[in-house]
Amino acid sequence: FNRIREQVPQLCSLSPAGEYHIQDLDRAGGISALLKELSKKKIINLGEITVTGKDVGQNVEDALILNNKVIRSIENSYNPKGGIVFLKGNLAPQGGIVKSSAVHPDMLIHQGPARVFNSEEESTKAILEGKIKKGDVIVIRYEGPKGGPGMREMLTPTSAIAGMGLDKDVALITDGRFSGATRGASIGHVAPEAAVGGPIAIVREGDIIKIDIPQKRLDLKIEEEEIKQRLDKLELLSSTAKSGYLKYYANFAGSADKGAVRNI
């Protein structure tokens, strides 16, 4: 992620992080125009054959940018680097993902107290009841591939945060996932997940968490010895999946950083 991010500029800024929408992108020339512009940096393999029977270069050769506010040129990019950052640290030894292009500049570096929840529903209830304050770092765990099971999308809590005007002041960290609709300092895919004893499982209410997106770090601000002791004493929550395919998936699902595919 980070290697590609360094090479690929951000040429569009679409909702929910930007003022334009996907239909605006289509009217401005679409993905073909975007690919053609990116190809000027020699980062698109134009020789790859596509489902049209033609290669990428042939598909985009006649494409034009019809609105340079929606699709910017490489020289006038929103950001010379891409909008996805892979974070690591003692809270995410195997990594976590954040859509940095949707994070308010004031939240690129943030430190605050953890507000810990063991499900999406618990966190959403607290947000809607006004229990989350500016500066808080919401931690939603046991929502990963095994813990969910199925790694649900955490759209409801992030939408609630944004709807209450807190997306510039509150961060959210989860072993669940996000979609393109997420905005704010929302860090997902944290691995190892809570259900397999990842460090996210030992976070306690009020622990200080530091997010440093420019430095690609996600850390729990306690001593390493304390982390080790908590992990040694950790008692995992039992799975909510008691039978059927969900139980089967929970038993065999791999880690998010490996694609959450079945381990057999």
Predicted confidence (pLDDT) per residue in 206-235, tens digit: 999 999 999 999 999 999 999 999 999 999
Is 77 catalytic? The answer is no
Give the integer Cα–Cα distance in Å for 163 and 157.
10
Residue 138 has pLDDT above 90, yes or no: yes
Predicted confidence (pLDDT) per residue in 147-160, tens digit: 999 999 999 999 99
Predicted confidence (pLDDT) per residue in 40-88, tens digit: 999 999 999 999 999 999 999 999 999 999 999 999 999 999 999 999 9
- Selecting among 119, 179, 186, 255, the annotated active-site residue is 179
> Dihedral of the CA atoms 217, 223, 227, 230 (nearest 10)?
-150
| Counts of helices then strands in the chain (DSSP H, E) | 8, 8
Predicted confidence (pLDDT) per residue in 15-43, tens digit: 888 899 999 999 999 999 999 999 999 99
Q: Is 7 helix (H, G, I), strand (E, B) or coil?
A: helix
Residue 181 has pLDDT above 80, yes or no: no
- Annotated domain spans of the chain: 2-76, 84-256
The amino acid occupying position 254 is G
Q: Give the CA angle between residues 162, 168, 188 to the nearest 5°.
A: 70
In angstroms and rounded to an integer, the radius of gyration of the C-alpha atoms of the chain is 20
Q: Which fold has domain 84-256?
A: Glucose Oxidase; domain 1 (3.50.30)
